[in-house]
Amino acid sequence: MAIVDITIFPMGTGSTSASHYIAEIEKVLEQERGRVKIQLTPMSTIIEGDIHDLFEIVEKLHEVPFEHGIKRVETNIRIDDRRDKKLTMEGKLASVAEKMQKKRPE
């Protein structure tokens, strides 16, 4: 499994707000629930699943603003694809939380 952090910027919307476009992107992404795990954050969306599915979904999401009349879109993605052990969003958070509980050497 891999984790993708994706942020899509519709350019030239005529407004400082992009939430309308983000909502449309999230509606498309909701159709993929079950195939991937989704976590919307205030700054991006995190998607967990098979790497091949993730690339397909990223392409689909990138197209959404174009389908709503936007002429330019910037999409940033970060991929965490670990192959030596199972990688999950919850596992990454649990690992950090565990280390925060351990006493640090002085």
Q: Tell me, what's the pLDDT at 24?
A: 95
All structural domains of the chain, each given as residue ranges with its CATH number in brackets, are 2-101 (3.30.70.930)
C-alpha distances in Å from residue 88, one per residue of 92, 94, 97: 6, 10, 14
Residue 103 pLDDT > 90: no
CA–CA gap between residue 89 and residue 81 (Å, rounded): 12
pTM confidence score? 0.86
Residue 106 pLDDT > 70: no
Q: Which tens digit of pLDDT belongs to each residue from 44-90?
A: 999 999 999 999 999 999 999 999 999 999 999 999 999 998 889 99
Section 22-28 average pLDDT: 95
Residue labelled with tokens 């309308």: 20
